[in-house]
Structures are given as structure tokens and as C-alpha cells.
Structure 1
Amino acid sequence: MTSKTSSTPATGTSAAAQGSHMWVLTLELPGRTMTTQYGTWTPPADSTRYDVFVALRGHIVAQHPEMANANCVFFSLEPNGL
């Protein structure tokens, strides 16, 4: 099995330049391949957690079309602050 890890980097190094939320999403085609991506993003106003999941999954599939039918094995979306 191969594993791919990549990120969607924040647009800057300061917290103000980063998105309002930090996310991690792992997709897997069992026995074949897996990808984990992460980054920060400010979702549109009134977005739901599901809306964000679907948008991020679509973003990954656009980069890796072979993952279109992959299983989601991990998803985290948290406010990007301490």
C-alpha cells in the first residue's frame, strides 16, 4: 500500500493570515493507496460541518481523481486558535 501526505498551506505565517479552522482529512482505497491532507480555511458564512467536509473531499479528489470512491478514515475540523 502506498501513502500520500500533502497539505494545503496557510497563506501566511501569522495566525491572522491563516483560516479560521484547521482541518485534516484522510482518504483510503483499502489495500491500494491512502492520502492525508491538512490545512487551514475560513468556510463561507453559515456553512455546516458537512458542507466543509464535502468541499474538502472535493478538493482532494480534484488533485487525486483516483480517490473519488475512497473511504474516509479520518476527518477533523477545529477552530484554528489556542
Structure 2
Amino acid sequence: MTSQTATSTTATQATSQGSHAWVLTLELPGREMTTQYGTWTPANGATRHNVFIALKEHLVAQQPQMASANTIFFSLEPNQL
């Protein structure tokens, strides 16, 4: 595989991902902690807070026990180098 092909493949993979990379860690002190991550393309005009709430709701839908958990870490960054 040549450098050009590798670059081309990487560019194709990046465009199929969301515009932002995120990481969210929630904790129920002394009981449980969970971290999830992924990519997301926020709607036009969305704020960082809108994305945080949507991601937390997504995580809680998968793990309902985390509904009252503390947020330990949240990162939302443009998904590019």
C-alpha cells in the first residue's frame, strides 16, 4: 500500500465519521463508573451544552442506573488533526 492510498483511505474514513469526537465519563460514587466515546455531528446552531445533554441522555438510555451519576469528564473536540 502506498502513502497516497493510505492517505486517501484515511480521508475517506474521516468523512464517514462525525464532525466532533467526544468522551464522557459518569460515576455513581463508590458504586459504578462508565466511559463512552464516539463521534457526533451537532445540528446547526447547537451549543456545547446541547451536545452534552444529548450524549448524557444517550448514555443513560443504555445504562439507566447512571441517570443520577456525577459527570467526571466530558470532552468535545473537532474531529480533525
Question: TM bucket by the smaller chain?
Answer: 0.7 to 0.9
Residue identity (%)? 70
Please give the TM-score of this superposition, normalised by the length of structure 2. Answer: 0.85
Whole-angstrom CA distance in 1 between matches of 2:15 and 2:52: 23
TM-score by length of 1: 0.84
**Offset from partner CA, 1:21-70 (integer Å, 9 cap, x none):** 00000000000000000000101110000000000000000000000000
Q: 1:58-73 residue pairs with structure 2 within 5 A? A: 58-73=57-72
User: Which ranges in structure 2 are unaligned for 5 or more consecutive residues?
Assistant: 1-11
SS at match of 1:68: helix
Q: Which has the higher strand share?
A: 1
CA RMSD of aligned residues (A): 0.9
Asked which structure has the greater CA Rg, the reply is 2
Residue 35 of structure 1 corresponds to: 34
Partner of 1:76: 75
Unaligned runs of 5+ in 1: 1-12
Aligned length: 70
